[in-house]
Amino acid sequence: MKNKIAFFENIQKLKKEREIWLWYGVKEPETVAGHSFRVAFLVWLLAGKKKLNKGGVLKMALAHDFCQVFQPDELLGKPLLSGRTNSFKDRAKAKEIVKKLLHLSLAQKKERARRKTQRRERAFQKFMAGLPENYKKELEGIWQDFKRGASPEVRFVVQAERAENFLQAFEYWARGEEIPIEDWLYWAEMVFDDPLFIEFKGAVVRRFLRKAEGKDEMGRIVDFLVRVGRLKSQQRVKWVLRKVNQPEKTADHCFSEAVAAWFFAKDSRLKLNSEKAIKIALAHELAGVFLKEKFSYHYLFPNLRGEIVNLLKKPALFSAKEREEILREVKKKVFVWPFFSARRKRVDFAKAFRRERSAVRKITSLLPQPLGREIFAYWERFGKGLDKEAKFVQQVDVIDNLLQAVAYHQKSDNFPLASWWNELGEKIEDAPLLIFVESLRRKVCLPR
């Protein structure tokens, strides 16, 4: 169990900023986890157009950057740079190197790719060391498949990962970041060879260069992904209220929950469909695209709600005393929430569910109808607990929040953990999850 806990703790480490965007000087860039989250969504949306193992490509999309727990994100020219590019001068040098690398010979590119694979191999083996055998066997298979690069699934996921990078580059460029978009267009001409992703590239270009929102199917998919991308920068309220430095984003949470759902579902005692569990986890926070995240006790103090929203948006408008008063009131509600009656909690959740359902209908209506209905159905399964996979992911959601809270507690002993353990007592039912939670409790030395 110790190795299983270490695995999930390592997954939390992927909620770090991607260095490729830091080198470009992007302010508050996406995280590795946020990137993988949208790659997984992109794979979900497009895999139906190919004869692929759909569960397999989803898992590959989630796992493709696991090695970055120990191997930093790579810019094309990183091996030619000394240290990290913090200064403007270093970033300018990096951009010049990228331009040169775009024009390397085929033999030079193959040699660079070989060395990169060796570095990733070492990092991936380190990541897998000590994992439970059933975890290790599946990840080893995925990694070997990636190394060979021969299967249709691997080629598809590699193209999807590049497509997500391409879309993200345009998004940063559109908001005024110094992204050399001509270089990205040149790069895209070289790397996309699948007609499906060439079509995707064209839809991205139309949206950002010609200001034309999608009317055709691929254009609508791009519009959906752009809006889902908002979750990459949306800070989770529960951590902001606890004054966490660089709090987890909603997309980060969805990524780590999808990974947790995948691997917890491997327990044969649960008899679960892991593909379905992953999709439910990916979709469960989609309402956040149009709504601010709500916490369990949000409806208990309607007058304070507006003050919290304003505090999050414009903290400078509040004095230190006012901020402390608002946060003190929130903490009071956090403390009493676990002791409210089941009926009171059902009423509060029903209000939240109706509001979120309208938001999810709005975001899924951007998609072609079959895709929109599928994603809405997975979100609704989670909200209503309609099947065993949905009820399972509801429990995994609580555990993922706990794992993140433990990570913050390990950074600061002052970070409170009591409320997370109170929630566990209400929501965890499956025996394998209870065993995991008990092992985690012993690891962090908390009393029962």
Give per-residue pLDDT as tens, 134-167.
888 999 999 889 888 889 999 999 999 999 999 9
Name the percent of the chain lying above pLDDT 90: 52
Residues 255 and 212 in one domain: no
Name which of 154, 141, 147, 94 is nearest 116 in CA terms.
147
249 DSSP β-pair partners: 235
- Mean pLDDT computed over every residue of the chain: 84
Domain end position, chosen among 212, 232, 252? 232
Give the count of domains, the chain.
2
| 432 domain-assigned | yes
Q: In this structure, are residues 145 and 92 in contact, taking their beta carbons and an 8 Å threshold? A: no
Q: Check residue 60 and give its pLDDT.
A: 96
Indicate whether 220 and 281 sit together in one domain.
Answer: no
Structural domain contains residue 448: no
Question: Does position 66 have pLDDT exceeding 90, yes or no?
Answer: yes
388 lies in some domain: yes
Q: Are residue 330 and residue 425 in the same domain, yes or no?
A: yes
One domain for residues 140 and 190: yes
Lowest average pLDDT, out of 12-16, 151-155, 394-398, 425-429, goes to 425-429
Q: What distance in Å separates the CA atoms of residue 288 and residue 15, rounded to the nearest whole number? A: 18
Q: What percent of the chain has pLDDT over 70?
A: 80
pLDDT tens-digit readout, 225-268:
999 999 999 999 888 877 888 899 999 999 999 999 999 999 98
Q: What pLDDT, in 10s, does the model give residues 334-344?
A: 555 555 566 66
For residue 370, is pLDDT > 90? yes
What pLDDT does residue 302 have? 43
What residues make up the domain containing 190? 2-232
Going by pLDDT thresholds of 50, 70 and 90, the confidence category of residue 81 is very low
- Predicted structure pTM score: 0.85
